[in-house]
Chain A
Amino acid sequence: MEESALVLDDVHAGHPGTPVLSGVDLDVPPGTLTAVLGGSGCGKTTLLRTVAGFHPVEKGSIHAGGRLVAGGGVAVAPERRRVGLVSQEGALFGHLDVAANVGFGLDRRARRGDRVGEVLELVGLAGYGDRMPAELSGGQQQRVALARALAPAPALVLLDEPFVALDAGLRAEVRGQVRDALTAAGATAVLVTHDQQEALGTADLVAVLRDGRVVQCAPPRTLYDSPADIGVARFVGDAVVLPADATDGAAATLLGPVPVPSGRGPGRLLLRPEQLRLRVPDGDREATAKVADVVFHGPDATVELDLDGTGLLARVPGRSDVRPGDRVVVEVAGEGRFFPAGDDG
């Protein structure tokens, strides 16, 4: 197995009197795209700046490309870390053309060689070398910024919310292009974002950062299906949380028994809204929930339900004919996740 591209071990960092990172552990395998996902103020930016070398580490250590770069009395200067950085606004040098921007981190000989053209091609901007940054669209600027970061073949590329300044429509497209370019370059990248969809949709691994520590690091699917706690569950997607009592392989809930892979005793059950199926009641005998509100999204719609005073959220196909005030029967498809009482997130 290859050595990890980035290892953070119990990293503490912050400002005098205000700790921001309090024991971050993270292991980024080479060649992967790992997303660091967190809400505002969770320490994402500090984490990124600590790895890049712009923020000092108080405790713990950082290894990049198998080399100790921070911690234990070591503080390698940013320019010696071989850690590339792509920031929110791209931060292109406005006084240099695209080729000079991309070649900025290369030595004189490499700048004259093919490398610049190579990485520009990688990001799909071959032939743009003599343009000025101001002549490019936002998405193109971000791709140039990526090409610039990739050019010196860094051990690691850090992407700081690189798509946040782009239009929604453009965002997905640029995200795909960046993803492809990273794959083609075989680069290891860490993407910092507050956008769950972006993290889940782009990354190989997602690390959820909360209160200055990584609470879970897993592939997107695992994260979504088997979150470490309710908090993570809520953070990575909409959640339906019900009081439950688990016995062997099933949990008793308001919606009846739901299969669970493990757990015993009182606790809470996590379901995803798309697991709730709604149907018209067969008669008066069945327990029904009242539709409180319907929000139409296009391909699907979210439905707020009231089941004897308990609020539920269901996701249904956009064409479903559900209206506020309707009474519906709620059924559960698939397994739920059970969290024993006291295991709060």
Chain B
Amino acid sequence: MQITERPTSHHWRLLAAGAATALALTACAGSPAGDDAAPQDGATAGEAAALTVYSGRSESRVQDLLAQFEAESGIPLDVRYGDTAELVAQVLEEGEASPADVFFAQDAGALGALSEAGRLIPLDDEVHEGVVDGYVAADGTWTATSARARVIAYDSQELTPEELPQNLDDLLDPRWQGQIGFPPGNSSWNTFVTAVRVDRGDDGARQWLADFDAQNPERFNNNHGVIDGIENGQIQIGLVNHYYIYSKMEELGEENLRTRNHHVGGDPLGLVNVAGAGVMDTADDPARAQELVAFLTSETAQQYFVDTSGEYAVRSGITSTVYDMPDITELEQPDIDLADLRTLEETLEMLQEAGMS
């Protein structure tokens, strides 16, 4: 008699199908990962060895630029995108075994932290040749690759630049009662408040926040919302990053746009933050890693940043062909070391106390 263990329930069949699928997957799983990994480990592969880049800058913003580097230099890149802070934590946990060669960060604070932990090696001078003074780390371990500034966005139909606040205290004038928009909880807003704390001390910042709150500022969900608020006349001015106006401009056309940016010099209101890059101490071939960093500060890359994302170039004399924006040298950075902006926790605590989180 033929004996069969006949699977009867549909569940059993499902399980079998699932197992088969999984096995098939395992079979085809090994190849790509294995192939990619092999040359990376040994230096034997020579020319083919890829540089591993940990990028806190998002793929959609920088992948074309990095592809351009690969094409021009012949150095293949292995880019691992992630949140800047999480990548820093990852690199710190990886320690000496880290595969990272270059760290490309969204914030100066992240690079400062890596530098402080001794994880970045000093860059050769020619790597950041041409970068504007003040945009290279004092110890030479990293360089800014692009910049963004806090601005006062304003309704150009109602206001002239001369009428606008020129510093934190001007913003507390009764004139602006109920007319200011801001995006609570947004990370760039939080960084701005941290800058206020660094500028005025915690007590001063607390006082300023209380006075600001007394102005009955309008809360928006994000920076885009603030711009929309100005466009539809709900508010007259808004505290945002400089590039949020650009997407609205593309949508409406410059001639139809009411909102304009006002740059405030030498005050936390005009804080300039940067994205930047450095070479890891675990880099297999620091020279080639530096080549990438040098590329990011090159005129080609700088032009890419001003044209695609509307960020400021960190070189002087790069003019955006797309956006109307001042040269980086025209921005007057407040007297704040960007590396000091690492006390977000305290800022959040203060915002919560002030009821503005």
Contact = CB atoms under 8 A, between A and B. Distances in A.
Is there a contact between chains A and B in the complex with CB atoms less than 8 Å apart? yes
B4 interface: yes
B266 to A, nearest CB: 79
Contact of B3 (A94, A103, A132): A103
A183 B244 CA distance: 93
B8 A112 contact: no
Contact of A114 (B1, B4, B5, B7): B1
B8 A99 contact: no
A128 to B, nearest CB: 11
A30 interface: no
A97 interface: yes
A96 B1 contact: no
A95 interface: yes
Contacts of A220: none
Contacts of B1: 99, 114, 116-117, 129
B8 A111 contact: no
Contacts, number: 33
Contacts of A111: 3
Contacts of A100: 3-6
Interface in A90-121: 94-97, 99-100, 103, 111-112, 114, 116-117
B3 A95 contact: no
Contacts of A114: 1
Interface in B156-183: none
Interface string B1-37: 1111111110010000000000000000000000000
A95 B10 CA distance: 11
Contacts of B8: 94-95, 97, 132
A129 to B, nearest CB: 6
Contacts of A103: 3
Contacts of B5: 95-97, 100
Contacts of A99: 1-4
| Interface magnitude class on chain B | 10 to 19
The winner among A94, A95, A117 for most chain B CB atoms within 10 A is: A95
Contacts of B6: 96-97, 100, 130, 132
B9 A112 contact: no
B4 A95 contact: no
A261 B350 CA distance: 105
Contacts of B12: 95
A158 B8 CA distance: 29
Interface in A57-100: 94-97, 99-100
Contacts of B2: 99, 112
A103 B88 CA distance: 61
B6 to A, nearest CB: 5
Nearest to B7: A95
B9 to A, nearest CB: 7
Interface string A276-307: 00000000000000000000000000000000
Interface in A302-341: none
Interface centre among B1, B2, B6, B9, by most A CB within 10 Å? Answer: B1
Contacts of A132: 6, 8
Interface string A238-272: 00000000000000000000000000000000000
B11 to A, nearest CB: 9
A113 to B, nearest CB: 8
A268 B253 CA distance: 118
Interface string B255-277: 00000000000000000000000
A312 B166 CA distance: 118
Nearest to A126: B1
A129 B8 CA distance: 15
Nearest to A111: B3
B17 to A, nearest CB: 16
A95 B8 CA distance: 6
A116 B9 contact: no
Contacts of A129: 1, 3
A111 to B, nearest CB: 5
A116 B6 CA distance: 16
B345 to A, nearest CB: 55
A103 B8 CA distance: 17
A232 B3 CA distance: 47
A237 to B, nearest CB: 45
Pick from B3, B4, B5, B7 the residue with the most CB of A within 10 Å.
B3
Contacts of B9: 95
B346 to A, nearest CB: 59
Nearest to A134: B8
A100 B1 CA distance: 10
A111 B9 CA distance: 23
Nearest to A94: B8
A100 B3 CA distance: 6
A112 B1 CA distance: 6
B150 to A, nearest CB: 67
14 contacts: A95-B5, A95-B7, A95-B12, A96-B5, A96-B6, A97-B4, A99-B1, A99-B2, A99-B4, A111-B3, A112-B2, A114-B1, A116-B1, A117-B1
- What are the 5 A-B residue pairs with the smallest beta carbon separation, nearest first? A103-B3, A117-B1, A100-B5, A99-B3, A111-B3
Given A99-B3, A132-B6, 18 more contacts: A95-B5, A95-B9, A95-B12, A96-B5, A96-B6, A97-B4, A97-B5, A97-B8, A99-B1, A100-B3, A100-B5, A100-B6, A114-B1, A116-B3, A129-B1, A129-B3, A130-B6, A132-B8
